[in-house]
Structure formats: structure tokens, C-alpha cells
Amino acid sequence: MFGISTHLYLSDRLDRDHLVEIAAHGFEAVEVVAVRDHFDYHDRRAALALAEWLDDTRLTLHSMHAPIAAAYTNGAWREGYSLAATDEARRLRAVEETTAALNLATLVPYQILVLHCGVPAPHGQPADNQVASMIRSLEQLSPVAAGVGVRLAVEVIPNALSTASSLVDLLDSEIEADGLGICMDVGHARLMGDVVEAIETCSGHVITTHLHDNRGRTDDHLVPGQGVVDWDATLLAFQKVGYDGAWMFELAVAAERRQILERAVKARARFEALLAFGDEPPIETAAD
């Protein structure tokens, strides 16, 4: 199942036309980003409207991305949240917002909530990224997630808490939180090192994906094949670890989306060929 994250539409309030456009390009699933000026996950009316749009377009709401900030305005995140904050009031605020996104599943069912462990470098401060705080947050959120039939997936992001090995250590620790998994964000893994190694490290834990490319230096969120990620090796690694979940494209915020979606369609076709046959030529990548 291939899907598109509404990250592509983050500069707008989510509406039916966005889902229509995703479905019209042949995608089957969607991940909705929970930020209130994009999609107000606190608003029952917004949830019911989303359910209606999903029914109209026959799209599956595969996942939600948990809130990481109060707003996204003029191309920037405002008032960031951190589930790993040392400050208890700030941590609890992030837990409350994440809980609101989980409770949405009672109105619009979905399978997975993607979480950030702290704040990506270089934006985060040490006080944003404390493992003990993250453990407390996950232990609080786990029973809420179980109660609404959602699994929590901690995402590979560029900070010390969220490397592939750090996340596996967290999940394999004595944390009192059931059903945790990992969101393998391929673009982030490439920025931090070797993608294949990251996937192999997380073997048995990956329950969802974020697929995007970059030029090896910044988090560009390009369509796969537009950057330096070795996608044929990446998909082979996913197959070797037995991953059989959704393939979710998380592409850069853009005003003009049609061309980006058309490129994503071509990338999807190459992915389908590689996954089906395993012997197709590699996806072309830009020079490093």
C-alpha cells in the first residue's frame, strides 16, 4: 500500500480537494499531520469531515503524525512540543496534545501514530531531548493508544535519541509500554549515515515508513530518485528484514503539488517493480 503524507499540504488547511488529488494519482493511503492550523485534531467537526472525505475518496487513513508544534506558519514551526522535555510542564503539554491526536481514532480509525523522540538537531536543546522524559511519555501514552487500537511508532530523526540503534535500545529496554514500533524515515537515516545499516539495525521493529530523498546535507524531503539515497539497496534491505507495511511518501511542503505528485507516481512505479521482481535497474540518483 502506497500513501502520501499531508506534509505536502502543510501550508494549507487540509480539505477534501487535497485527498481527491492524492487519490487521483493512484495512491491508496494517507498520513495526516496533526498541527492545528493544518488539521485541527481537537475539533470533532474536523474529524467527522475527514471521515467523510476518506469515504468519498476511498483512501485509507493509515497513520497520523503526532503534534510537534502548535502551528506551522510562513514556512516555520511555532511553539514546538517535545515528549522528551526535561521541563515537566512542557513534557505534559506534549503528552496532552499527543493524547488528543490519539483520541481522534475513536471518530476516524487509523493504525499508527508516528512520534518524535524529542526535537531534531540542530533545532533542539539538550533539555528537549532527555531519554528518561521520553520513557515517561511513552509509558503514559501506551495505554491510551491501546485503548483506541493504535500503535505508536517512534521515528528515526536526526538527534541522539532517535538514531536507529538508540531507538532499538529504547524499545528493547524495560520500558512499560506495549506495542511500540519504529517509523523508518529514509531521508533522515541517510542524513545520519547508512540507510541499509539503519534498516538492518531496526529489523523486527519497523512498522511504518517515511519515504523521501535529499542531497546528503539537509532534510530536503525530495521525491525518491531526486537525491542521493540508493533506493534499490534500500528496498532490498526492507525486503530482507521482512517489512510488509505501508510505503508512505513524506514530501516537502509545496504550493504547486501536481508536478510533485506526478514524480511520486513514477517513483511508486519503480518501487513496485523493484519490490515485485528484485532485479530491476536501480532508481537513478543525483550525484553527491
Do residues 5 and 248 lie in contact, with contact meaning Cβ atoms separated by under 8 Å? yes
- Cell readout for 273 is 517493480
- Cell readout for 109 is 480509525
Write phi, then psi, for 236 (nearest 5 degrees). -60, -40
- Cell readout for 7 is 506534509
Which residues constitute the domain of residue 124? 2-277
Q: What domain count does the chain have?
A: 1
> Residue 161 contacts by C-beta under 8 Å, 6 or more apart in sequence?
84, 117, 118, 129, 131, 134, 167, 170
Three-class secondary structure of residue 201 per DSSP = helix
* pLDDT attached to residue 277: 64
* pLDDT attached to residue 124: 59
Between the CA atoms of 229, 61, 275 and 213, what dihedral angle is there, to the nearest 10 degrees?
Answer: -10
* pLDDT attached to residue 279: 45
Examine residue 287 and state whether it is found in any structural domain, yes or no. Answer: no
Q: Which of 221, 223, 237 is nearest to 268 (CA)?
A: 223
* pLDDT attached to residue 280: 47
**Amino acid present at 286:** A
Residue 95: give its domain's CATH number. 3.20.20.150
H/E run at residue 209? strand 206-210
Along the 288 residues of the chain, how does pLDDT read in single tens digits? 999 999 999 999 999 999 999 999 999 999 999 999 999 999 999 999 999 999 999 999 999 999 999 898 888 888 889 999 999 999 999 999 999 999 999 999 999 999 999 888 766 576 788 999 999 999 999 999 999 999 999 999 999 999 999 999 999 998 999 899 999 999 999 999 999 999 999 999 999 999 999 999 999 999 999 999 999 999 999 999 999 999 999 999 988 899 999 999 999 999 999 998 654 444 554 543
DSSP 282: P
* pLDDT attached to residue 123: 64
Examine residue 139 and state whether it is found in any structural domain, yes or no. Answer: yes
Examine residue 284 and state whether it is found in any structural domain, yes or no. Answer: no
Strand partners for 30: 4, 61
Three-class secondary structure of residue 230 per DSSP = coil
Examine residue 193 and state whether it is found in any structural domain, yes or no. Answer: yes
Three-class secondary structure of residue 35 per DSSP = coil
* pLDDT attached to residue 104: 96
Reply yes or no: is the peptide bond before residue 224 cis, omega within 30 of 0: no
